Amino acid sequence: MSVHPTSHSFKDNASRAIADGSVPRALKNVRQNFIDKRVKAVDALPEFEALRESAREIKNHTLAHLDLYLERYEQKVKDSGGHVHFAVDSAEARNIVLDICRKVGARTVTKGKSMISEEIGLNGHLEAAGIVPVETDLGEYIIQLRGETPSHIIAPAVHLTKDQIEKDFRRVHTQLDPNRDLTEKRSLLTEARTMLREKFLAADVGITGANFLIAETGSSVIVTNEGNGDLTQILPRVHIVIASIEKVVPTLEDVSQILRVLARSATGQEMSVYTTFSTGPRRATDVDGPEEYHVVLLDNGRSAMLGTEFQDMLRCIRCAACMNHCPVYHQIGGHAYGWIYPGPMGSVLTPSLIGVDKAGHLPNASTFCGRCESVCPMKIPLPKMMRHWREREFERNLNPAVARYGLGFWAFFAKKPWLYNLSTRVAAKAMKLMGRNKGRFQSLPGLGAWTQYRDFAVPEGETFQAQWKKRAGK
Amino acid sequence: MVEVPPQTCCGQPAFNSGDRRTARDLALQMIEAFERFDYVVVPSGSCGGMIAKHYPELFEDDPGLSVRAQKLAAKTFELVSFLTDVLGIMQVEAKHAGTCTYHDSCSGLRELGIKRQPRQLLGSVEGLEMVELKDSEVCCGFGGTFAVKYGPISDQIVTEKATNVNATGAKTLLAGDLGCLLNIAGKLSRMGSEVEVRHVAEVLADMTDRPAIGKMGAST
Ligand code: SF4
């Protein structure tokens, strides 16, 4: 792990985001858009459910034979003249990339959007070695200007409003006309493109992530909407793909199946604007392409998830539908989760990768509303897996003593129907008396965490079971 | 014939807190109390979901109990779904003057597929006019212990829900889950809203002469 996690202070992070208010405001502007577009795209494709099912099957099959497909992939990359490097953890992956850059004397590195690069903290590592990394995806470019990490896995700057971005551009692009018009979203993109053009040409190495790695052909696949990925991987002398091991799928046909659910789930597009395949370095007959082609395959805790109750998480294709539909994410944004992966997928994945002792809040901070699972194209049972994390915490005594004590106290009663019945009847009567003529409590001993924000309804004085008995006795 | 056997809790709080042992103990207690009936009817979507969806999962590794859990799951229904999907009731004899709006509780909606059933029955209530709630399928922020463990986040979510409820202009908010009802009623009341909150069954059973949730003191 490299980017220093703050998941343990999730509560403070969340409260800060809420108090500041700019993040939920920015998200409010976009979230409905994601949701509406997805519904439209899904409704327009009758076989969407069937495709989901087959996408799930493809990944399940691959994960069951992951070693085999990784070997096959590696062989194919080598056959096409490329190099494959396996990295156990972030540190190893960073060093492999840095080594390659040093060997070719790289000074500037352009980058396509890659969450793995974020996970291993690549930019900081390159900078420390005197190499300039340049993010070329608009969202990544913006957060790089701000020194931030992405707050969303496909829309890294989604926590920012257009006005904030305009300010950043004016602050950094001082060589441009200060009176230029940046009111349109389009003009921001154009300006970023202008700034990036020379970087593309100056770059010695281009680094991209991968949405898929194809075992059958040794290709890597990226989907983008800006075309920046293509320039990143074609123009420089060296192309490095960094990807985690579970990105591999058996065949081209498999990729085309999964692609049909990916863009629809992510942005509501039928296909992303660019779907780009890269296979090995430039061949003698190719008109362009890199001279060297490297793939860095990162494990970083993933292989340890195989065979556990968290294996299903490795089906994830990073479409972000789960966070786009998450009521918790909507209120606090991605940074509150304290590490690279936010929202429901992060709440399952982060504890696997950095340890549940550091990320214990994440699987707990869910209402289990189930909307994430219902939209996940890979049918990943996200709430169920968050519950598994809670079970592990419970087994290891990691949850707060108060919660354990309260639960034990309640369970003691709940296991004895007569006692439970009696005590709920007494409680209902007592609360009725206490709350006489009020109808609601604005504060209640022991329930401060509830009544701080909302009233508590005074019960009618009799439990359902008691009322039923009375009626039956009549 | 309807019977209400001695019972406590379905075990969902323990299940969702990671305490599988207690959850299993309570689930077994429930199975024993209810398996002799033809149908089990539950007035709350989340408890219904617990029995119908999670009990089988809870006993996955125990062949004997898993069969019993599955049998119970198959005959357990949320109240409104029981009325419509099992009994085939398409209208009720009830009166309720005024506009109502409806919150689709998460477990009922996503675990039990309850969406059209309450609307169908409410449509037959004399004098009742339905207005749809914006984002009716979005969680109210209750989530059991979530509401107290992550109070500020829960508050933001329920505030948005209550604001949407107020915006409908409806006189009454209905839902089929007690947790959501308490949560939304508590927030509306704290916001000083006039909207009354009821379980959908109160309207269907023509029992709205009784005070709404949190309004008891006001009329006694
Ligand atoms: S968990 Fe599912 S919905 Fe979330 S990013 Fe992964 S594939 Fe998409």
What structural domains does chain B harbor? 12-74 (no CATH), 89-204 (3.40.50.11810)
Determine which of A129-133, A211-215, A431-435, B56-60 has the lowest per-residue pLDDT on average.
A431-435
Q: Residue B68: pLDDT band by 50, 70, 90 thresholds?
A: very high
- Closest by Cβ to B139, choosing from A327, A407, A457: A327
- Average pLDDT of chain B is 91
pLDDT in tens, B24-41: 999 998 899 899 999 999
Nearest Cα residue to B83 out of B2, B10, B4: B2
Residue A209's pLDDT is what? 97
Scanning B179-198 for CB atoms below 8 A from A yields 182-183, 185-187, 189-190
A356 vs A461, more confident: A356
Please give the pLDDT value at position B137.
97
Task: Characterize A50-77 residue by residue with b for buried, 16 or more Cβ atoms within 10 angstroms of its Cβ, and e for exposed.
Answer: ebbebbbebbeebbeebeebbebbbebb
- A322 pocket-lining for ligand 1 (C-beta < 6 Å): yes
Does residue A459 have a pLDDT over 80?
Answer: no
Of the residues A34, A341, A378, which should be mutated to test ligand 1's pocket, given the most ligand atoms within 8 Å of the CB? A378
Sign of CA dihedral A230, A232, A234, A239: negative
CA–centroid distance, A322 to ligand 1, in Å, is 5
The 8-class DSSP code of residue A353 comes to H
Q: Give the distance (Å) from ligand 1 centre to CA of residue B77.
A: 30
Structure confidence by residue, pLDDT tens digits, A316-341: 999 999 999 999 999 999 999 999 99
At A186, list the tokens.
Answer: 């389009």
Q: Does the C-beta of A318 come closer than 6 Å to ligand 1?
A: yes
CB contact under 8 A, A457 and B216: yes
**Arithmetic mean of pLDDT over chain A:** 91
Amino acid A385: pLDDT: 97
Pairing of strands A219-224, A274-278: antiparallel
Q: Which CATH number fits domain A45-300: 3.40.50.720, 1.10.3720.10, 3.40.50.10420, 3.40.50.800?
A: 3.40.50.10420
Among A224-233, B129-138, B163-172, name the one with the lowest average pLDDT.
Answer: A224-233
- Quick one: tokens of B140? 């109210």
If you average pLDDT over residues B155-168, what whole number do you get?
97
Contact B186 A454 (CB under 8 A): yes
pLDDT at residue A420, rounded to an integer: 66
**Position A115 confidence tier, pLDDT thresholds 50, 70, 90:** very high
Q: For the residues of A384-453, what is the DSSP string, one character each?
A: HHHHHHHHHHHHTT-S-HHHHHHHHHHHHHHT-HHHHHHHHHHHHHHHHHHTTTTSEES--TT-HHHHTT
Is the predicted pLDDT of residue B14 greater than 80, yes or no? Answer: yes
- Alpha helix ranges (H) inside B61-173: 63-74, 79-81, 106, 112, 116-122, 146-149, 151-168
CB contact, 8 Å: B70 with chain A?
no
Query: Residues B106, A364: contact at Cβ < 8 Å?
Result: no
ipTM of the complex: 0.93
Residue B219 has pLDDT above 60, yes or no: no
* Beta strands at A274-278 and A292-298: parallel, antiparallel or unpaired: unpaired
A188 CB under 6 A from ligand 1? no
Helix (H, G, I), strand (E, B) or coil at A342: coil
Q: Does A407 touch chain B (CB under 8 A)?
A: yes
Confidence of residue A463 (pLDDT cuts 50, 70, 90): confident
Lowest mean pLDDT, pick from A24-38, A279-293, A436-450: A436-450
What is the pLDDT at residue A446?
Answer: 67
Mean pLDDT of A199-216: 95
Any A CB within 8 A of B44 CB: no
pLDDT digits (tens, 9 = 90+) for A232-249: 998 899 999 999 999 999
A401 or A29: which leads in pLDDT: A29
Percentage of chain A beyond pLDDT 90 is 75
Burial class from Cβ neighbours inside 10 Å (0-12, 13-18, 19+) for residue A225 reads middle
First to last CA, chain B: 33
Q: pLDDT at position B118, please?
A: 95
CB of A22 within 8 Å of any CB in chain B? no
Indicate whether A435 pLDDT > 70: no
Polymer length of chain B:
220
Domain residue spans of chain A: 45-300, 405-472
Q: How far are the Cα atoms of A74, A116, A370, A374, A387 from residue A378, in angstroms, in the given order?
A: 25, 20, 14, 10, 19
Strands A292-298 and A238-244, bridge-based pairing: parallel
Instruction: Tell me the percentage of chain A whose pLDDT exceeds 70.
Output: 90
Ligand 1 centroid–CA A267 distance in Å is 13
A422 touches chain B (CB under 8 A): no
The verdict on the CB of residue A321 being under 6 Å from ligand 1 is yes
Mean pLDDT score, A362-379? 97
List A212's β-bridge partners, or say none: A221
- Is it the case that residue B11 has pLDDT exceeding 70? yes
Q: Nearest 5°: CA angle at B44, between B41 and B46?
A: 110
Give yes or no for residue A409 having a pLDDT over 80. no
pLDDT at A47 over 50: yes
- Partner residue facing A366 (CB), from B146, B147, B148: B146
Q: Quick check: A398 pLDDT over 80?
A: no
CB contact under 8 A, B217 and A458: yes
Give nearest CA residue, ligand 1 atom 6.
A316
Give B171's pLDDT tier (boundaries 50, 70, 90).
very high
* Ligand 1 center from residue A55 Cα (angstroms): 12
CB A3 within 8 A of CB A331: no
In this prediction, residue A414 carries a pLDDT of 67
Q: Does A399 touch chain B (CB under 8 A)?
A: yes
Residue B220 pLDDT greater than 50, yes or no: no
Mean pLDDT over residues B55-77, rounded? 93
Judged against a pLDDT cut of 50, whether residue A70 lies above it is answered with yes
Q: What is the pLDDT of residue A412?
A: 66
